[in-house]
Amino acid sequence: MKLVDFRDVCRNSPPKDVLERAWLGLDKERLAGVREVRLYDDDPRANSKTPKAYGRYVPHGNTRQADVELYFWRIAELPSRLQSNEMYLVFILSRTFAHELYHHAIIGQRIKRQPRKSVEEDRCRKFGQRVASEIVHSVYPEEKFRRLWKEMREDLSQGD
């Protein structure tokens, strides 16, 4: 899997190497067939019929190959303290990435009995939340990053 960065505005929110390090421990089986993860400032596929997304699963025709696109437009809409909180950004981006990986497991790997769309979305959401939590806890162990965890909790409890 290759991480390709097309960002201009959000180039360092968080840096590409932080995301690579965060996703290093992901299950290789889940990543099978994912060629690229593309990072964009905005959702280029959004239009009047398709709302802006946080990320997209992009299959390659009738193959088991796909790309995952992640969009950073929502970072600009976060409270300013969260915009610079690396741990929080890794969490929300990992949650979106894992969500799209679940779609890949269902669609891209041609599971025989696909669930209804609403059921699949609910499972994607839960899977994304669980995986993102595991990633953040492994990259930022609470014993070692106590101050960062405290700041994130404070940032989440406060508005701007």
Q: Do β-strands 34-40 and 2-5 pair in parallel, antiparallel, or remain unpaired?
A: parallel
Q: Is residue 42 within 8 Å of residue 10, measured between CB atoms?
A: no
Q: In angstroms, rounded to a whole number, what is the distance separating the alpha carbons of residues 95 and 81?
A: 20
pLDDT of residue 108: 59
pLDDT of residue 114: 64
pLDDT of residue 30: 80
Q: What does pTM read for this prediction?
A: 0.83
Q: In angstroms, rounded to a whole number, what is the distance separating the alpha carbons of residues 100 and 86?
A: 21
Per-domain residue ranges of the chain: 2-157
| 3-class SS letters over 38-88 | EEECCCCCCCCCCCCCCEEEEECCCCCCEEEEEECHHHHHCCHHHHCCHHH
CA dist 46 → 75, 96, 125 (Å): 17, 17, 21
pLDDT of residue 68: 93
pLDDT of residue 126: 94
CATH of domain 2-157: 3.40.390
Continuous segment of H or E residues that includes residue 7: none
pLDDT of residue 160: 44
Q: What are the two backbone dihedrals, phi and then psi, of residue 111, each rounded to the nearest 5 degrees?
A: -60, 135
Encode the chain (160 residues) as per-residue pLDDT tens digits. 888 999 888 877 777 888 888 887 787 888 888 899 999 999 988 888 888 899 999 988 878 889 999 998 888 888 888 888 888 888 989 999 999 988 888 775 555 566 677 888 898 999 999 999 898 888 889 889 888 888 888 877 775 4
pLDDT of residue 129: 92
Residue 113 tokens read as 């009995």
